Structure 1
């Protein structure tokens, strides 16, 4: 009986724990990244054309990136060897749910299809040389959406993506 209670408690704790979002490395670290330690952050307005979503989150994102890159051994510098481009985006895709049996109405199957939209916020970080050669690039789903905005979600997503960047080598 005790074993059952312990297992139930462990299951409850595991359910309540927050997990980091899964980051995706789009471009693995190139050999050029080795030995580079200084970085400069490039504002999203310079990386993306048009309006950027979640504009109010960029001040927080810049602080998170500076702290996270410093923790991985990189140093901010105006004469940087690495340019860090970062931006938030919204992936908007349709979701169609079809009901097995159509309702018995004159519209029939038309009412049996529910059209929804999936709006998922993403964070992309791209490390480049000053000559624009890509050194590393990654993407993570932030959990942010136009309907759900949270500083905690952005922090967890940023941490997950920064953990994928290789440590700075001396």
Structure 2
């Protein structure tokens, strides 16, 4: 019983903790990005084919991107110099643990009944010129399930990812 209470306490503390997203710049800023300041935010359907995962998050994502780009010196325009593509992905991996391990492993019986998963949400952002040439691309991954703290995770992922884009002058 004590082990179960400790496990619940650890899960509660983990869900309250602030998790920084992992940022990876896939393509560093091209020199051509420095001279471009206006952008057009394109819907994720233009970046991906098929069903969009985490569809409910896009309503929050679009204004966060607009605001964050504006804070970096970019402005939205009907005559853009940049196209901004963005999309979310979800990677769900089952966690495998041996359930036949004798004590002192406290989770053996628990894991025989409950299947644990590692869910990683990823935000990808790509800036291109009007010809489709990639000028900058990056992604932010969250190590906590998108089912937990999704609003805070999305805000921190957008903020951390946009910090990697050069400021427009």
Which TM bucket (shorter chain)? 0.7 to 0.9
Q: Per the alignment, in what secondary structure is the counterpart of residue 52 of structure 1?
A: coil
Partners in 2 of 1:168 and 1:85 — Cα distance? 18
Q: Per the alignment, in what secondary structure is the counterpart of residue 70 of structure 1?
A: helix
Correspondence for 2:87: 87
Q: Which digits, 9 at most, give the CA deviation of each residue in 1:51-103, with x for residues without a partner?
A: 11121111211100000000000010111111000001101234322469469
Alignment of 1:15-164 (within 5 A): 18=18, 20-98=20-98, 101=101, 116-142=116-142, 145=145, 147-148=147-148, 150-164=150-164
Unaligned runs of 5+ in 2: 1-15, 104-110
Partners in 2 of 1:122 and 1:134 — Cα distance? 19
How many pairs does the alignment contain? 146
CA RMSD of aligned residues (A): 2.6
- Structure number, greater radius of gyration: 1
Task: Give TM-score scaled by structure 1 length.
Answer: 0.75
Contact preservation (8 Å) 1:144, 1:154: no
Q: Which digits, 9 at most, give the CA deviation of each residue in 1:14-33, with x for residues without a partner?
A: xx884642311111101111
Change in 2 beyond 3 A, CA 1:157/1:131: same
Change in 2 beyond 3 A, CA 1:153/1:23: same
Partners in 2 of 1:141 and 1:24 — Cα distance? 8
Change in 2 beyond 3 A, CA 1:125/1:118: same
Unaligned runs of 5+ in 1: 1-15, 104-110
Any runs of at least 4 consecutive aligned residues in structure 1 with deviations exceeding 4 A, and if so which? 99-103
